[in-house]
C-alpha cells in the first residue's frame, strides 16, 4: 500500500549532509512497535525483542544529533502496558533499569538531556530513581532532548491538565477566559517542547495508541511495516526525507 513508507521511489535516498540542507523537523515522536512480533519471528521470548529494541533507539538519538533534530519523544511503555503479564512487566522494568545504567554516561557525554514523561506514581521506586537521577545529571544538556514516554497515556495526561486548570480557577489564580491553547499546553508533560513535526510508527499498525493526542494535531504521520528492532538508520532517514516532501499548510491554503 502506498501509505506505507511513502518515499516517492523515484527520489534518491539522501545523505545526512543533503538532508540537513532542507527543513528538518525540530521534534520527532516515535511509536516503537513490533518488539514482540520480532521476537516471535526469531523464535525468541518477547523480552528478547524488547532488548533488541534498545539498539535502534540509540542509533536514532545519534542521528537526531547529526541532523540537528532537537527533540525526540520515544513511546517506551504505555499506561495500558501495565496490564500485560506480570513476568513481562517485571522483565521490562529490569530492562529499563539496566538500560539507564548502561547508557547514561554516553548519553550525557553526547549532550543528550533525558526527560521522563508519564505517570510516575506507578513506576517502581528503584526504576524511577534511576530515571530521575538521569534527569538531574543531564538537565543542562542541550544537544538533543530525549523524552522517554514511560507509564504514559495521553488521555490521562489531558485529564490531569484539565484538573490542574480547574484547581487554578477555583483558587482564583486564573480566570476561565485565560485558558487558551498556549496555557493548556503548558499543563502537559511536554510543556517545554514544541509539538512534534513528525510522528513515526513502526510495525504496520495504523493507530496512535493514546500517544500525544493533543500535541500531534498537526504532525505529519509516517507509517512503516518494519518491526522496531529492524528499524535501521536508512529507514529513519527515509522518514525524514519523506517529511521534507510534505506540504504543511496548518489548515491554510
Active site residues: 33, 81
Contact between 93 and 87 under an 8 Å Cβ cutoff? The reply is: no
200: number of Cβ within 10 Å: 26
Distance CA 132, CA 138 (A): 10
List, as one string, the DSSP characters of 78-101.
EGGGGGS-HHHHHHHHHHHHHHHH
Q: In what order do the strands lie in the sheet with 220-223?
A: 112-117, 144-152, 71-78, 27-31, 198-201, 220-223
How many residues make up the chain in this entry? 253
Alpha carbon of residue 82 to chain centroid: 18
Distance CA 8, CA 92 (A): 37
Cell of 12: 534518491
Nearest CA to 104 out of 139, 69, 72 is that of 139
Nearest CA to 19 out of 222, 246, 242 is that of 242
Distance CA 110, CA 32 (A): 22
Amino acid at each position: 500500500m502506498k501509505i506505507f513508507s511513502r518515499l516517492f521511489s523515484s527520489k534518491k535516498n539522501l545523505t545526512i549532509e543533503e538532508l540537513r540542507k532542507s527543513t528538518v523537523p525540530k521534534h520527532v515522536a516515535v511509536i516503537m512497535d513490533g518488539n514482540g512480533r520480532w521476537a516471535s519471528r526469531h523464535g525468541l521470548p518477547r523480552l528478547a525483542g524488547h532488548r533488541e529494541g534498545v539498539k535502534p533507539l540509540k542509533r536514532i538519538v545519534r542521528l537526531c544529533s547529526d541532523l540537528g533534530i532537537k527533540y525526540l519523544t520515544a513511546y517506551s511503555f504505555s499506561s495500558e502496558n501495565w496490564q500485560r503479564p506480570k513476568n513481562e512487566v517485571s522483565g521490562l522494568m529490569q530492562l529499563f533499569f539496566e538500560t539507564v545504567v548502561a547508557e547514561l554516561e554516553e548519553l550525557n557525554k553526547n549532550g543528550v538531556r533525558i526527560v521522563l514523561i508519564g505517570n510516575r506514581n506507578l513506576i517502581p521506586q528503584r526504576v524511577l530513581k534511576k530515571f530521575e537521577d538521569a534527569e538531574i545529571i543531564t538537565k543542562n544538556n542541550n544537544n538533543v532532548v530525549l523524552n522517554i514516554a514511560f507509564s504514559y497515556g495521553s488521555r490521562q495526561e489531558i485529564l490531569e491538565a484539565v484538573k490542574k486548570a480547574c484547581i487554578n480557577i477555583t483558587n482564583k489564580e486564573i480566570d476561565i477566559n485565560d485558558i487558551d491553547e498556549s496555557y493548556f499546553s503548558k499543563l502537559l508533560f511536554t510543556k517545554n517542547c514544541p509539538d512534534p513535526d513528525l510522528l513515526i510508527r513502526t510495525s504496520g499498525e495504523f493507530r496512535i495508541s493514546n500517544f500525544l493526542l493533543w500535541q500531534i494535531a498537526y504532525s505529519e504521520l509516517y507509517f512503516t511495516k518494519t518491526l522496531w528492532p529492524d528499524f535501521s538508520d536508512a529507514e529513519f532517514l527515509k522518514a525524514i526525507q519523506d517529511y521534507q516532501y510534505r506540504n504543511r499548510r496548518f489548515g491554510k491554503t
